[in-house]
Amino acid sequence: MYKVFLVDDDRIILDELKERVPWPENGFEVAGADTDPVRALQRIGELLPDVVFCDLKMPGMDGNELISRIRSGGVPCEFVMLSAYDDYRDVRTFFKQSGYDYLLKPIQEDELRLLLEKLYRKISMEHPDSDLSAVSDNPAFNSLVAYVDEHYTDRLSLAQISDRFGFSRNYVCQLFRKHFNKTFSIYLTDKRMAHARELLKQRGISVKEAAALSGYGDYYHFYKTFKSYFGCAPREYRS
């Protein structure tokens, strides 16, 4: 799994990020977290995380200064800024430092999930696993994959399939990364988006029907996922 470091001067927010975000399900693990940006700077240099999520407004050192100093230290990682503010100058400074994305608080679950999927794809392409195999010698995992391939339009979750096939969630995540170089969540999204694309080519099916037939009960969730995946809205794709 790829390593994440979290920096926020609010202990409550930091604890919520650590405990409520399904990091392993999305291919990440929290390697460290700190409320003090100065102390975090040293720990990031030691742990060398793949991604740093940091607050913008912090006493002693703001998020943009922290990123600048991490960059100067030669740590090759991605940065995601978390902020309750959308000041143009702060955002511009962040992206000038090659920041990856900027999320406004309170963080929306769907937005964070899409961000983690994109981050995982980007990092895994830059650091591919040389020990990949699409064939598993584990019959139970092969059955699990076959089940997902057949039922991806159902309301599947990592917890459901892990329980169904007697695996721990972390082990399922490890197997998907080993054999597909992607998380379960990304594997499921790839299947659903490919299906949705084919459905949208059929004029007799509405966009909302395509969403439901692709496994998305929430149209807005489908819309955001499709636009993030293909770079255009479903109706624009159909046109």
Q: What is the mean predicted confidence (pLDDT) over 153-172?
A: 92
What element of type H or E holds 144? helix 139-151
In tens, the pLDDT along 8-20 reads: 999 999 999 998 8
Domain spans, the chain: 2-126, 132-239
Q: What is the pLDDT of residues 36-86, one digit of tens each?
A: 999 999 999 999 999 999 998 899 899 999 999 999 988 989 999 988 877
pLDDT at site 99: 85
Q: For 196-233, write each residue's pLDDT tens digit.
A: 999 999 988 999 999 999 999 899 999 999 999 999 99
For domain 2-126, the question of CATH label 3.40.50.300 is answered with no
> Which pLDDT value is given to residue 132?
47
What b/e string do you get for 185-205 counting C-beta neighbours within 10 Å, with b at 16 or more?
bbbbbbbbbebbbebbeeeeb
Sequence-separated (6 or more) residues with CB below 8 Å from residue 91 = 102
Tokens (6 digits) for 113:
């999930």
Q: What is the gyration radius of the CA atoms in the chain, in angstroms?
A: 19
- Record the tokens describing residue 88, joined without a space: 């143009």
Give the DSSP H or E segment for 14: helix 11-20
Report how far residue 79's alpha carbon sits from residue 58's, in angstroms, rounded to the nearest whole number: 16
- Between the alpha carbon of residue 152 and those of residues 23, 80, 184, 192, 194, the distances in Å are 21, 30, 11, 7, 11
Q: What is the pLDDT of residues 87-137, one digit of tens each?
A: 778 788 887 877 888 888 888 888 888 899 989 988 888 875 544 455 567
- The 3-state DSSP class for residue 235 equals helix
pLDDT of residue 192: 96
Position 104 scores a pLDDT of 86
Residue 174 CA: distances (Å) to CA of 105, 135, 146: 31, 14, 17
Residue 21 to residue 109: CA distance in whole angstroms: 8
What superfamily would CATH give domain 132-239?
A: Homeodomain-like (1.10.10.60)
